[in-house]
Amino acid sequence: MAEFVTLEVSDGIGTIRLDRPPMNALSRQLQEEIREAAREATVRDDVKSVIVYGGEKVFAAGADIKELAELDFVRMSRIVGDLQSALGSIADIPKPTVAAITGYALGGGLELALGADRRIVGDNVKLGTPEILLGVIPGGGGTQRLARLVGPAKAKDIVFTGRFVGADEALAIGLVDEVVAPDDVYEAARRWAAQFTGAASRALAAAKAAIDQGLDTDLDTGLAIEQHVFASLFATKDRTIGMESFRANGPGKAEFVGE
């Protein structure tokens, strides 16, 4: 039984909820519980989309510094891969994912949010990668995912300075996708996630794979990935359902079964 992370499912939406007061510091235990929740969300057929949520006050204010301070080079070298894969496990969920961010998302907290397909924040959030102020750098995927999202120059400014980024700037540079009142963050995330509860799940997974994998390679390889996943959908029930429904009733009326 997980202590700090739960997966709650309702109406096809799974909410991965962090609950380690007061700031959801990302201890190694919490990291592994995130990984397990992401794995469960992946395999459960009743989960069609996923919200990652830290609660009404804070998303996650970074790593557990007490734990990190006790590690030397040899020990960190052994576990840094686990750190990256745990915080990146949200990116591995083959379903639409959204981070619902309140308060602070710093360091590992921001790295966790960067793995989501979309980020919705309250207008009072503070985002950042302040690891440089501790004499280190982001080690949970931050240097890579942040640069891919906002470009290398903006990523370097944020990482080099360790400064906090507010909601307006984050929206302007593409770090987040939607800004709402703090009390509305979770419901805004549910509205976005609810769009996919009746969608063709395998097609969504294929689209996500084509985009994510294609961005990590050259155009020709990306196009080859697209060819493969596109063709594979012609073996699914939902492709047959969708095309037959279109021919009979027009677009947008298909009732998909997720197969």
Q: What is the pLDDT of residue 135?
A: 95
Asked whether the domain spanning 201-249 has the same topology as the one spanning 5-194, the reply is: no
Residue 210 host element (H or E): helix 201-215
Let me know: does 129 contact 159? Beta carbons within 8 Å: yes
Residue 39 tokens, joined: 């794995």
CB distance 171 to 125 below 8 Å: no
Q: At what angle do helices 237-249 and 201-215 cross, to 10 degrees?
A: 110
Which architecture, in CATH terms, is 201-249? Orthogonal Bundle (1.10)
Q: What is the model's pTM?
A: 0.95
**Which residue in 32, 36, 40, 111 is the catalytic one?**
111
Is 226 labeled as catalytic in the residue annotation?
no
- Whether 111 is a known active-site residue: answer yes
221 φ/ψ angles, rounded to the nearest 5 degrees: -65, -40
The domain ranges of the chain are: 5-194, 201-249
Quick one: which H or E segment has residue 192? helix 185-194
Residues comprising the chain, all counted: 259
Q: Is 249 exposed, middle or buried (0-12, 13-18, 19+ CB in 10 A)?
A: exposed
Which candidate in 36, 131, 169, 244 is catalytic?
Answer: 131
| pLDDT band for position 164 (cuts 50, 70, 90) | very high
Q: Which of 86, 83, 26 has its CA nearest to residue 58?
A: 26
Q: Domain 5-194: which topology?
A: 2-enoyl-CoA Hydratase; Chain A, domain 1 (3.90.226)
Q: What is the pLDDT of residues 2-50, one digit of tens each?
A: 899 999 999 999 999 999 999 999 999 999 999 999 999 999 999 999 9
- Rounded to whole angstroms, the Cα distance separating 101 from 231 reads 37
pLDDT at 1 over 80: no
pLDDT tens for each residue of 53-102: 999 999 999 888 889 889 899 999 999 999 999 999 999 999 999 999 99
